A and B are shown apart, each in its own frame.
Chain A
Amino acid sequence: MRRQLPILIVFVSGIFMIIQYFIPHESFEFIYEYAMDWIIIIGIFAMLLGLWSLTRASVSKVQTKAPGWGYSVMTLAGLVAMIFLGVYKGNQSIAEGTSFMDIFWNIYTPIQATMFALLAFYIASAAYRAFRARTVMSTILLVTALVIMLRLIPLGPLSGINQTLASWILTVPNMAAKRAIWIGIGLGATATCLKIIFGIERAYMGKD
Protein backbone atom coordinates (compact mmCIF):
# COMPACT_ATOMS: atom_id res chain seq x y z
CA MET A 1 0.00 0.00 0.00
CA ARG A 2 2.78 2.43 0.94
CA ARG A 3 4.48 1.92 -2.41
CA GLN A 4 1.45 0.98 -4.53
CA LEU A 5 -0.56 4.14 -3.85
CA PRO A 6 2.16 6.61 -4.95
CA ILE A 7 2.72 4.58 -8.13
CA LEU A 8 -1.02 4.67 -8.79
CA ILE A 9 -1.05 8.45 -8.23
CA VAL A 10 1.83 8.80 -10.72
CA PHE A 11 -0.04 6.67 -13.27
CA VAL A 12 -3.38 8.44 -12.94
CA SER A 13 -1.95 11.97 -12.93
CA GLY A 14 0.40 11.16 -15.82
CA ILE A 15 -2.28 9.59 -18.00
CA PHE A 16 -4.66 12.45 -17.23
CA MET A 17 -2.10 15.07 -18.27
CA ILE A 18 -1.47 13.23 -21.56
CA ILE A 19 -5.20 12.90 -22.30
CA GLN A 20 -5.98 16.54 -21.44
CA TYR A 21 -3.54 17.69 -24.14
CA PHE A 22 -5.96 16.37 -26.77
CA ILE A 23 -9.19 17.55 -25.15
CA PRO A 24 -9.89 21.29 -25.45
CA HIS A 25 -13.18 21.07 -23.48
CA GLU A 26 -13.23 23.43 -20.50
CA SER A 27 -13.87 20.73 -17.92
CA PHE A 28 -10.44 19.29 -18.66
CA GLU A 29 -8.95 22.76 -18.86
CA PHE A 30 -10.14 23.54 -15.34
CA ILE A 31 -8.65 20.35 -13.89
CA TYR A 32 -5.37 21.00 -15.75
CA GLU A 33 -5.13 24.53 -14.30
CA TYR A 34 -5.90 23.30 -10.79
CA ALA A 35 -3.29 20.52 -11.11
CA MET A 36 -0.63 23.03 -12.17
CA ASP A 37 -1.54 25.30 -9.27
CA TRP A 38 -1.46 22.38 -6.81
CA ILE A 39 2.09 21.59 -7.96
CA ILE A 40 3.08 25.19 -7.24
CA ILE A 41 1.41 25.04 -3.82
CA ILE A 42 3.23 21.82 -2.95
CA GLY A 43 6.44 23.61 -3.92
CA ILE A 44 5.57 26.48 -1.57
CA PHE A 45 5.11 24.11 1.37
CA ALA A 46 8.30 22.28 0.38
CA MET A 47 10.07 25.63 0.73
CA LEU A 48 9.73 25.19 4.50
CA LEU A 49 11.53 21.84 4.21
CA GLY A 50 14.36 23.60 2.41
CA LEU A 51 14.66 26.30 5.03
CA TRP A 52 14.57 23.65 7.74
CA SER A 53 17.44 21.77 6.04
CA LEU A 54 19.55 24.92 5.66
CA THR A 55 18.88 26.10 9.21
CA ARG A 56 19.49 22.68 10.75
CA ALA A 57 22.82 22.28 8.94
CA SER A 58 24.01 25.78 9.94
CA VAL A 59 22.84 25.50 13.58
CA SER A 60 24.45 22.07 13.87
CA LYS A 61 27.81 23.49 12.71
CA VAL A 62 27.54 26.36 15.21
CA GLN A 63 26.55 24.08 18.09
CA THR A 64 29.37 21.60 17.47
CA LYS A 65 31.86 24.41 16.71
CA ALA A 66 32.74 22.59 13.48
CA PRO A 67 35.50 24.16 11.31
CA GLY A 68 34.15 27.31 9.68
CA TRP A 69 31.20 27.62 12.10
CA GLY A 70 31.55 31.41 12.02
CA TYR A 71 30.48 31.41 8.39
CA SER A 72 27.34 29.47 9.33
CA VAL A 73 26.54 32.32 11.72
CA MET A 74 26.75 34.71 8.74
CA THR A 75 24.41 32.48 6.74
CA LEU A 76 21.87 32.36 9.55
CA ALA A 77 22.17 36.11 10.13
CA GLY A 78 21.54 36.85 6.45
CA LEU A 79 18.61 34.45 6.33
CA VAL A 80 16.92 35.72 9.50
CA ALA A 81 17.49 39.37 8.60
CA MET A 82 15.94 39.00 5.15
CA ILE A 83 12.93 37.08 6.44
CA PHE A 84 12.31 39.59 9.24
CA LEU A 85 12.75 42.63 7.00
CA GLY A 86 10.58 41.01 4.33
CA VAL A 87 7.52 40.39 6.48
CA TYR A 88 7.42 42.85 9.38
CA LYS A 89 5.58 45.56 7.42
CA GLY A 90 3.29 43.20 5.58
CA ASN A 91 3.47 43.25 1.79
CA GLN A 92 4.96 46.76 1.91
CA SER A 93 8.15 45.25 3.31
CA ILE A 94 9.38 44.42 -0.19
CA ALA A 95 8.58 47.75 -1.82
CA GLU A 96 11.43 49.75 -3.33
CA GLY A 97 13.34 51.84 -0.80
CA THR A 98 12.84 49.42 2.08
CA SER A 99 15.73 47.83 3.99
CA PHE A 100 14.83 44.50 2.37
CA MET A 101 15.41 45.90 -1.11
CA ASP A 102 18.50 47.85 0.03
CA ILE A 103 20.11 44.53 1.04
CA PHE A 104 18.98 43.01 -2.26
CA TRP A 105 20.54 45.82 -4.33
CA ASN A 106 23.73 46.31 -2.31
CA ILE A 107 24.56 42.75 -1.25
CA TYR A 108 22.74 40.19 -3.39
CA THR A 109 22.92 41.91 -6.80
CA PRO A 110 26.65 42.82 -6.82
CA ILE A 111 27.65 39.32 -5.68
CA GLN A 112 25.42 37.74 -8.31
CA ALA A 113 26.79 39.99 -11.05
CA THR A 114 30.35 39.21 -9.99
CA MET A 115 29.71 35.45 -9.98
CA PHE A 116 28.38 35.83 -13.51
CA ALA A 117 31.46 37.87 -14.46
CA LEU A 118 33.73 35.01 -13.32
CA LEU A 119 32.62 33.27 -16.50
CA ALA A 120 34.86 35.56 -18.51
CA PHE A 121 37.90 34.07 -16.80
CA TYR A 122 36.58 30.52 -16.84
CA ILE A 123 35.66 30.60 -20.52
CA ALA A 124 39.25 31.62 -21.29
CA SER A 125 40.74 28.85 -19.14
CA ALA A 126 38.35 26.26 -20.59
CA ALA A 127 39.21 27.37 -24.11
CA TYR A 128 42.95 27.16 -23.33
CA ARG A 129 42.55 23.55 -22.17
CA ALA A 130 40.07 22.35 -24.78
CA PHE A 131 41.24 24.08 -27.92
CA ARG A 132 44.39 22.11 -28.58
CA ALA A 133 44.31 20.68 -32.10
CA ARG A 134 45.37 17.17 -31.12
CA THR A 135 42.45 15.33 -32.67
CA VAL A 136 40.16 16.01 -35.62
CA MET A 137 37.30 16.75 -33.26
CA SER A 138 39.15 19.30 -31.13
CA THR A 139 40.48 20.92 -34.34
CA ILE A 140 36.91 21.33 -35.63
CA LEU A 141 35.93 22.76 -32.22
CA LEU A 142 38.85 25.20 -32.26
CA VAL A 143 38.48 26.41 -35.84
CA THR A 144 34.72 26.91 -35.61
CA ALA A 145 35.00 28.77 -32.31
CA LEU A 146 37.66 31.06 -33.79
CA VAL A 147 35.61 31.82 -36.90
CA ILE A 148 32.55 32.70 -34.79
CA MET A 149 34.53 34.70 -32.21
CA LEU A 150 36.25 36.76 -34.87
CA ARG A 151 33.08 37.59 -36.82
CA LEU A 152 32.63 40.86 -34.90
CA ILE A 153 36.26 41.93 -35.19
CA PRO A 154 37.42 44.06 -38.15
CA LEU A 155 39.90 41.86 -40.03
CA GLY A 156 40.50 44.06 -43.04
CA PRO A 157 39.97 42.18 -46.31
CA LEU A 158 39.12 38.97 -44.46
CA SER A 159 36.18 40.48 -42.54
CA GLY A 160 33.61 39.88 -45.28
CA ILE A 161 34.66 36.27 -45.87
CA ASN A 162 34.76 35.54 -42.14
CA GLN A 163 31.34 37.04 -41.50
CA THR A 164 29.79 35.15 -44.41
CA LEU A 165 31.37 31.92 -43.22
CA ALA A 166 30.28 32.56 -39.61
CA SER A 167 26.73 33.30 -40.70
CA TRP A 168 26.63 30.13 -42.83
CA ILE A 169 28.03 27.99 -40.00
CA LEU A 170 25.42 29.32 -37.57
CA THR A 171 22.45 28.84 -39.90
CA VAL A 172 23.32 25.57 -41.67
CA PRO A 173 25.57 22.92 -40.04
CA ASN A 174 24.97 24.29 -36.53
CA MET A 175 21.21 24.04 -37.10
CA ALA A 176 21.56 20.48 -38.45
CA ALA A 177 23.48 19.32 -35.37
CA LYS A 178 21.05 21.04 -33.00
CA ARG A 179 18.09 19.37 -34.73
CA ALA A 180 19.69 15.97 -34.26
CA ILE A 181 20.26 16.69 -30.55
CA TRP A 182 16.72 18.05 -30.12
CA ILE A 183 15.14 15.02 -31.77
CA GLY A 184 17.24 12.71 -29.60
CA ILE A 185 16.29 14.62 -26.45
CA GLY A 186 12.64 14.56 -27.49
CA LEU A 187 12.63 10.79 -27.86
CA GLY A 188 14.69 10.24 -24.71
CA ALA A 189 12.57 12.51 -22.54
CA THR A 190 9.34 11.06 -23.93
CA ALA A 191 10.51 7.53 -23.18
CA THR A 192 11.54 8.60 -19.67
CA CYS A 193 8.07 10.08 -19.11
CA LEU A 194 6.46 6.81 -20.17
CA LYS A 195 8.76 4.78 -17.92
CA ILE A 196 7.80 6.97 -14.97
CA ILE A 197 4.06 6.87 -15.72
CA PHE A 198 3.99 3.09 -16.13
CA GLY A 199 6.03 2.61 -12.97
CA ILE A 200 8.99 1.01 -14.75
CA GLU A 201 11.28 3.72 -13.39
CA ARG A 202 10.47 4.13 -9.71
CA ALA A 203 13.79 4.71 -7.97
CA TYR A 204 12.71 8.24 -7.01
CA MET A 205 9.91 6.77 -4.82
CA GLY A 206 12.41 5.40 -2.36
CA LYS A 207 12.13 2.23 -0.30
CA ASP A 208 11.33 1.29 3.27
Chain B
Amino acid sequence: METIGIWIAALLTLGIFSFLYKDNPFYKFCESLFVGVSAGYWFVTTFWQVFMPKLADNLVAGRFYYIIGAIFGVMMLLRLIPKIGWISRWSLALVVGTTAGLYFTRYLVSNGMVQVQYTIISLYVKGNLSQTIGNLVIVIGTFSGLIYFFFSKEHKGAFGGLAKLGIWFLMLSFGASFGYTVMSRMSLLIGRMDFLLGTWLGLIR
Protein backbone atom coordinates (compact mmCIF):
# COMPACT_ATOMS: atom_id res chain seq x y z
CA MET B 1 0.00 0.00 0.00
CA GLU B 2 2.85 2.30 0.91
CA THR B 3 4.59 1.44 -2.36
CA ILE B 4 1.47 2.37 -4.32
CA GLY B 5 1.33 5.66 -2.41
CA ILE B 6 4.97 6.43 -3.23
CA TRP B 7 4.44 5.66 -6.91
CA ILE B 8 1.36 7.89 -7.07
CA ALA B 9 3.22 10.70 -5.30
CA ALA B 10 6.22 10.32 -7.64
CA LEU B 11 4.13 10.36 -10.80
CA LEU B 12 2.20 13.42 -9.63
CA THR B 13 5.51 15.11 -8.77
CA LEU B 14 6.79 14.50 -12.28
CA GLY B 15 3.50 15.75 -13.67
CA ILE B 16 3.86 19.08 -11.91
CA PHE B 17 7.54 19.38 -12.90
CA SER B 18 6.53 18.83 -16.54
CA PHE B 19 4.93 22.29 -16.41
CA LEU B 20 8.44 23.75 -16.51
CA TYR B 21 8.72 22.50 -20.07
CA LYS B 22 5.23 23.55 -21.14
CA ASP B 23 1.54 23.08 -20.43
CA ASN B 24 0.62 19.47 -21.23
CA PRO B 25 -2.14 16.88 -20.54
CA PHE B 26 -0.09 15.29 -17.72
CA TYR B 27 0.11 18.63 -15.88
CA LYS B 28 -3.56 19.39 -16.60
CA PHE B 29 -4.53 16.05 -15.07
CA CYS B 30 -2.48 16.76 -11.94
CA GLU B 31 -3.83 20.30 -11.69
CA SER B 32 -7.48 19.29 -11.98
CA LEU B 33 -7.06 16.47 -9.45
CA PHE B 34 -5.21 18.84 -7.10
CA VAL B 35 -8.00 21.43 -7.29
CA GLY B 36 -10.75 18.89 -6.60
CA VAL B 37 -8.91 17.13 -3.76
CA SER B 38 -7.83 20.40 -2.12
CA ALA B 39 -11.33 21.90 -2.25
CA GLY B 40 -12.75 18.73 -0.72
CA TYR B 41 -10.04 18.62 1.94
CA TRP B 42 -10.61 22.26 2.86
CA PHE B 43 -14.38 21.79 3.08
CA VAL B 44 -14.12 18.70 5.30
CA THR B 45 -11.49 20.10 7.68
CA THR B 46 -13.37 23.40 7.97
CA PHE B 47 -16.55 21.49 8.76
CA TRP B 48 -15.03 19.37 11.54
CA GLN B 49 -12.52 21.86 12.95
CA VAL B 50 -14.38 25.16 12.60
CA PHE B 51 -18.11 24.72 11.93
CA MET B 52 -18.74 22.08 14.59
CA PRO B 53 -16.87 23.76 17.48
CA LYS B 54 -17.76 27.36 16.54
CA LEU B 55 -21.43 26.94 15.75
CA ALA B 56 -22.89 23.52 16.47
CA ASP B 57 -21.21 22.96 19.84
CA ASN B 58 -21.93 26.52 20.99
CA LEU B 59 -25.63 26.25 20.11
CA VAL B 60 -25.90 22.87 21.85
CA ALA B 61 -24.23 24.41 24.92
CA GLY B 62 -26.93 27.07 25.01
CA ARG B 63 -24.91 30.06 23.76
CA PHE B 64 -27.73 31.36 21.61
CA TYR B 65 -25.94 34.54 20.55
CA TYR B 66 -24.32 32.37 17.90
CA ILE B 67 -27.68 32.13 16.16
CA ILE B 68 -27.08 35.72 15.03
CA GLY B 69 -23.94 34.55 13.23
CA ALA B 70 -25.89 31.68 11.67
CA ILE B 71 -28.59 34.10 10.49
CA PHE B 72 -25.97 36.27 8.80
CA GLY B 73 -24.49 33.10 7.31
CA VAL B 74 -27.83 32.06 5.84
CA MET B 75 -28.27 35.60 4.45
CA MET B 76 -24.99 35.04 2.65
CA LEU B 77 -26.43 31.97 0.96
CA LEU B 78 -29.39 33.97 -0.34
CA ARG B 79 -27.03 35.15 -3.11
CA LEU B 80 -28.10 32.01 -4.91
CA ILE B 81 -31.66 33.35 -5.28
CA PRO B 82 -31.42 36.32 -7.70
CA LYS B 83 -34.59 38.09 -6.51
CA ILE B 84 -33.47 38.34 -2.88
CA GLY B 85 -29.73 38.07 -3.44
CA TRP B 86 -29.27 41.70 -2.30
CA ILE B 87 -29.81 40.55 1.32
CA SER B 88 -26.34 38.98 1.22
CA ARG B 89 -24.89 42.50 1.21
CA TRP B 90 -25.83 42.80 4.88
CA SER B 91 -23.53 39.90 5.73
CA LEU B 92 -20.80 41.32 3.49
CA ALA B 93 -21.25 44.68 5.23
CA LEU B 94 -20.76 43.08 8.65
CA VAL B 95 -17.59 41.33 7.50
CA VAL B 96 -16.12 44.39 5.79
CA GLY B 97 -17.10 46.85 8.54
CA THR B 98 -15.79 44.67 11.36
CA THR B 99 -12.54 44.10 9.48
CA ALA B 100 -12.08 47.80 8.77
CA GLY B 101 -12.63 48.75 12.40
CA LEU B 102 -10.38 46.00 13.71
CA TYR B 103 -7.49 46.77 11.40
CA PHE B 104 -7.73 50.55 11.77
CA THR B 105 -6.10 50.51 15.19
CA ARG B 106 -3.90 47.50 14.43
CA TYR B 107 -2.24 49.14 11.43
CA LEU B 108 -2.05 52.55 13.11
CA VAL B 109 -0.26 51.08 16.11
CA SER B 110 1.93 48.28 14.77
CA ASN B 111 2.80 49.76 11.38
CA GLY B 112 2.69 53.40 12.32
CA MET B 113 3.34 54.36 15.90
CA VAL B 114 5.51 51.43 16.97
CA GLN B 115 7.76 51.81 13.91
CA VAL B 116 8.18 55.52 14.67
CA GLN B 117 8.97 54.65 18.30
CA TYR B 118 11.71 52.21 17.25
CA THR B 119 13.21 54.66 14.76
CA ILE B 120 13.64 57.37 17.37
CA ILE B 121 17.26 56.58 18.18
CA SER B 122 20.26 58.63 19.14
CA LEU B 123 22.31 59.93 16.22
CA TYR B 124 25.48 59.88 18.29
CA VAL B 125 26.62 56.97 20.46
CA LYS B 126 29.62 57.94 22.51
CA GLY B 127 32.63 55.70 21.90
CA ASN B 128 30.85 53.51 19.35
CA LEU B 129 31.48 54.74 15.81
CA SER B 130 29.85 51.78 14.05
CA GLN B 131 26.61 52.16 16.00
CA THR B 132 26.61 55.91 15.39
CA ILE B 133 26.95 55.31 11.65
CA GLY B 134 24.31 52.57 11.81
CA ASN B 135 21.83 54.82 13.62
CA LEU B 136 22.45 57.63 11.13
CA VAL B 137 21.86 55.28 8.21
CA ILE B 138 18.62 53.96 9.76
CA VAL B 139 17.20 57.43 10.35
CA ILE B 140 18.28 58.76 6.95
CA GLY B 141 17.04 55.61 5.19
CA THR B 142 13.64 55.72 6.87
CA PHE B 143 13.31 59.45 6.22
CA SER B 144 14.23 59.21 2.54
CA GLY B 145 12.01 56.14 2.09
CA LEU B 146 9.06 58.12 3.42
CA ILE B 147 9.94 60.97 1.04
CA TYR B 148 9.71 58.47 -1.85
CA PHE B 149 6.16 57.54 -0.79
CA PHE B 150 5.03 61.17 -0.64
CA PHE B 151 2.27 61.57 -3.24
CA SER B 152 1.60 65.31 -3.07
CA LYS B 153 4.86 66.57 -4.56
CA GLU B 154 6.61 65.71 -7.76
CA HIS B 155 10.06 64.16 -7.44
CA LYS B 156 12.10 67.15 -8.62
CA GLY B 157 15.05 69.12 -7.30
CA ALA B 158 16.24 68.48 -3.75
CA PHE B 159 13.02 66.65 -2.94
CA GLY B 160 13.59 64.41 -5.95
CA GLY B 161 17.15 63.78 -4.84
CA LEU B 162 15.95 62.60 -1.44
CA ALA B 163 13.29 60.44 -3.10
CA LYS B 164 15.99 58.89 -5.28
CA LEU B 165 18.02 58.09 -2.17
CA GLY B 166 14.86 56.52 -0.77
CA ILE B 167 14.35 54.24 -3.77
CA TRP B 168 18.00 53.18 -3.57
CA PHE B 169 17.39 52.11 0.01
CA LEU B 170 14.28 50.23 -1.14
CA MET B 171 16.19 48.48 -3.93
CA LEU B 172 18.88 47.50 -1.46
CA SER B 173 16.23 46.00 0.78
CA PHE B 174 14.62 44.14 -2.12
CA GLY B 175 17.97 42.74 -3.22
CA ALA B 176 18.65 41.59 0.34
CA SER B 177 15.23 39.89 0.57
CA PHE B 178 15.78 38.24 -2.80
CA GLY B 179 19.20 36.91 -1.88
CA TYR B 180 17.97 35.79 1.54
CA THR B 181 15.23 33.65 0.00
CA VAL B 182 17.28 31.86 -2.67
CA MET B 183 18.75 29.24 -0.36
CA SER B 184 15.39 28.29 1.16
CA ARG B 185 13.85 27.85 -2.29
CA MET B 186 16.74 25.64 -3.36
CA SER B 187 16.23 23.48 -0.31
CA LEU B 188 12.62 22.87 -1.38
CA LEU B 189 13.87 21.53 -4.70
CA ILE B 190 16.47 19.40 -2.94
CA GLY B 191 13.65 17.94 -0.85
CA ARG B 192 11.71 16.81 -3.92
CA MET B 193 14.82 15.45 -5.62
CA ASP B 194 15.55 13.50 -2.47
CA PHE B 195 12.07 12.01 -2.63
CA LEU B 196 12.28 11.09 -6.31
CA LEU B 197 15.83 9.76 -6.35
CA GLY B 198 15.89 8.37 -2.81
CA THR B 199 12.45 7.30 -1.61
CA TRP B 200 11.00 6.39 -5.02
CA LEU B 201 13.92 5.10 -7.09
CA GLY B 202 16.24 4.19 -4.22
CA LEU B 203 19.25 5.64 -6.07
CA ILE B 204 20.49 7.67 -3.12
CA ARG B 205 20.47 6.93 0.58
Contact = CB atoms under 8 A, between A and B. Distances in A.
Direct contact of A and B (CB under 8 A): yes
Interface of A: 2, 5-7, 9-18, 21, 34-52, 54, 68, 71-72, 74-83, 86-87, 91, 93-94, 100, 102-121, 123, 127, 136-138, 140-149, 152, 168-187, 189-190, 192-194, 196-197, 204-206, 208
Interface string B15-55: 01101100000001111111111111111111110111011
B108 A144 contact: no
A9 B90 contact: yes
Nearest to A146: B179
Contact of A170 (B141, B180, B181, B186): B180
Interface residue SS majority, chain B = helix
Given A45-B77, A82-B37, A37 B69 contact: yes
B185 A120 contact: yes
Contact of B98 (A14, A116, A121): A14
B170 A181 contact: yes
Contacts of B96: 10, 196, 204
B123 interface: no
B128 interface: no
Contacts of A140: 168, 171-172, 175
Given A11-B97, A87-B47, A177 B181 contact: no
Contact of A176 (B10, B34, B86, B145): B145
Given A114-B13, A189-B111, A177 B175 contact: no
Given A113-B188, A148-B175, A148-B180, A39 B98 contact: yes
A13 to B, nearest CB: 3
Contact of A116 (B94, B104, B173, B188): B188
Contacts of A87: 44, 47
Nearest to A87: B44
Q: Which of B38, B58, B93 has the most CB of A within 10 A?
A: B93
B129 interface: no
A46 B17 CA distance: 34
